[in-house]
């Protein structure tokens, strides 16, 4: 326990310094499984030595008969440890799509909403080294590039909170040993052995991969980490260009210089477009890679007259490219200047009157 707890405390200190994070108030996602329960145990030790406030959240998806009893077991254990605990309920909804993906999104949404309501910034999860390796193989199967293959980061902004994954370099066997040494038992989710899920198939494949090729879980996780360093550099270059070359307007809306964009490396240009379109369009994810590449090619054509992508209109006007919400959202541009927009901390400008009139006319035509 001591060595693992010390390693955990060192990682928390490293993240706090590296990301200038204040870890005096933390929330942890704990399901009752081995990994998350080990995280809670490590946080208990961390609090005893460093002080601060820790809250544990358990989401009951009501997908398994055992879920309620598991949530109550976590609650009882946290009470015994003197850690505040809350159970958040989500009830499955009918409709198309993967129930696993719906449950995952609901879990994070519920926990994020709780954190925002109660003034917490950092939400810890128990993702570990093998989770990283499984994610790498899943992304590889889908043909992902640098962003996808870099997998999970130790700190990831999500809405108004930040996800923290301090166990990404830890082997899951160490977490289970930690619980066994403490005399603790954990819940086993039967779905973790169901071959219907790609992640489970990848998990079962990993021992074969290492036995036949020597490619281990550690090697896959290290590769993801190396790619994440590359990704962070690309993101820094993207942010530098946006801060220096992109003008922001109320709505939100943005504009940029075609000549400045043309001087960018194609990868940075694609990332700039992805960032701005996601921001202006208000969607959770940017357009797909091939769509952004096609857009970048079209922008280089002198006869480019405009297009739509990712909930945005991209159009040339006054020797600049403009990215604005699609026609259905143009009331933000043809009316009064909006108040309390999503980027209120950044300098905003009023959209040019000529462009407002142009957009008003296009709105009437649609």
Q: What is the pLDDT of residue 239?
A: 96
DSSP secondary structure letters along 69-109: HHHHHHHHHHHHHT-EEEEEE-----SSS-HHHHHHHHHHH
pLDDT bucket at 364, cuts 50 / 70 / 90: very low
Work out the number of other CB atoms within 10 angstroms of the CB of residue 244: 8
Range name among 12-26, 252-266, 346-360 with the lowest pLDDT average: 346-360
Q: What is the average pLDDT value for the chain, to the nearest integer?
A: 88
Q: What is the pLDDT of residue 338?
A: 42
pLDDT bucket at 222, cuts 50 / 70 / 90: very high
Q: Higher-confidence residue: 250 or 132?
A: 132
Q: What is the pLDDT of residue 39?
A: 98
Q: What is the mean pLDDT of residues 233-257?
A: 92
- Asked if the model's pLDDT at residue 342 lies above 90, the reply is no
Q: Percent of the chain at pLDDT above 70?
A: 87
pLDDT bucket at 337, cuts 50 / 70 / 90: very low
Structure confidence by residue, pLDDT tens digits, 165-211: 999 999 999 999 999 999 999 998 877 788 888 899 999 999 999 99
**C-alpha span between 264 and 256 (Å, rounded):** 12
Q: What is the pLDDT of residue 50?
A: 94
Q: Higher-confidence residue: 347 or 80?
A: 80
Distances (CA, A) of 270 to 113, 134, 235, 329: 32, 27, 11, 24
**Which residue carries 């999970």 as its tokens?**
152
Q: What is the pLDDT of residue 333?
A: 45
Residue 253 has phi, psi (to 5 degrees) of: -150, 155
The encoded tokens of residue 104 equal 């995952």
Distances (CA, A) of 67 to 79, 100, 146, 310: 18, 15, 37, 38
Tell me which range, 1-10, 60-69, 214-223, 357-366, is most confidently predicted by mean pLDDT. Answer: 214-223
Which 8-state DSSP code applies to residue 42? H
Q: What is the pLDDT of residue 345?
A: 43
b/e string for 80-103 if b means 16 or more Cβ within 10 A?
A: ebebebbebebeeeeeeeeebebe
Q: What is the mean pLDDT of residues 304-323?
A: 92
Tell me which range, 71-85, 237-251, 286-300, 324-338, is most confidently predicted by mean pLDDT. Answer: 71-85
**C-alpha span between 279 and 257 (Å, rounded):** 18
Q: What is the pLDDT of residue 206?
A: 96
Structure confidence by residue, pLDDT tens digits, 57-104: 999 999 888 999 999 999 999 999 999 999 999 998 766 667 878 888
Which H or E element spans position 63? none
Alpha helices in the chain (DSSP H): 2-18, 34-50, 67-81, 99-117, 129-141, 146-149, 172-181, 198-213, 217-245, 258-262, 266-281, 289-299, 331-334, 353-365
Q: What is the CA radius of gyration of the chain?
A: 24
Burial of 165 (0-12, 13-18, 19+ CB in 10 A): buried
- Asked if the model's pLDDT at residue 150 lies above 60, the reply is yes
Q: What is the pLDDT of residue 194?
A: 81
Q: What is the pLDDT of residue 359?
A: 61
Structure confidence by residue, pLDDT tens digits, 269-294: 999 999 999 999 988 788 888 899 99
Q: What is the pLDDT of residue 108?
A: 95
- Asked if the model's pLDDT at residue 346 lies above 70, the reply is no
Length of the chain: 366
Q: Percent of the chain at pLDDT above 90?
A: 70
Beta bridge partners of residue 27, listed in sequence order: 55, 123
**C-alpha span between 39 and 51 (Å, rounded):** 16
pLDDT bucket at 116, cuts 50 / 70 / 90: very high
């Amino acid at each position: 326990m001591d060595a693992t707890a010390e390693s955990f405390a060192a990682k928390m200190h490293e993240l706090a310094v590296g990301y200038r994070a204040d870890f005096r108030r933390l929330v942890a996602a704990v399901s009752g499984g081995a990994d998350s329960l080990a995280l809670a145990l490590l946080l208990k030790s961390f609090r005893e030595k460093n002080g601060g406030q820790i809250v544990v959240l358990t989401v009951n998806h009501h997908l398994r008969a055992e879920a309620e009893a598991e949530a109550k077991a976590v609650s009882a254990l946290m009470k015994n440890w003197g850690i505040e605990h809350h159970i958040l309920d989500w009830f499955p909804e009918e409709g198309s799509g993967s129930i696993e993906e719906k449950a995952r999104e609901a879990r994070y949404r519920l926990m994020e909403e709780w954190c925002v309501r109660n003034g917490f910034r950092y939400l810890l999860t128990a993702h570990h080294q093998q989770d990283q390796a499984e994610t790498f193989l899943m992304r590889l199967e889908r043909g992902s590039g640098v962003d996808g293959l870099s997998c999970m980061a130790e700190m990831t902004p999500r809405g108004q909170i930040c996800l923290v994954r301090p166990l990404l370099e830890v082997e899951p066997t160490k977490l289970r040993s930690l619980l066994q040494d403490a005399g603790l038992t954990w819940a086993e989710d039967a779905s973790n052995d169901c071959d219907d899920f790609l992640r489970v198939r990848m998990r079962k494949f990993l021992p074969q991969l290492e036995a036949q090729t020597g490619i281990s879980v550690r090697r896959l996780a290290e590769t993801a980490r190396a790619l994440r360093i590359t990704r962070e550099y690309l993101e820094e270059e993207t942010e530098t260009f946006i801060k220096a070359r992109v003008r922001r307007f109320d709505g939100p809306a943005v504009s940029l210089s075609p000549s400045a964009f043309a001087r960018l490396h194609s990868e940075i240009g694609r990332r700039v477009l992805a960032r701005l379109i996601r921001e202006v369009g208000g969607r959770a994810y940017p357009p797909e890679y091939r769509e952004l590449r096609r857009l970048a090619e079209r922008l280089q054509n002198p006869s480019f007259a405009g297009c739509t992508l990712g909930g945005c209109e991209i159009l040339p006007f006054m020797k600049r490219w403009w990215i604005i919400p699609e026609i259905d959202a143009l009331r933000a541009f043809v009316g009064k200047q909006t108040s309390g927009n999503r980027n209120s901390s950044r300098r905003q400008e009023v959209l040019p009157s000529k462009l407002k009139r142009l957009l008003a006319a296009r709105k009437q035509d649609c």
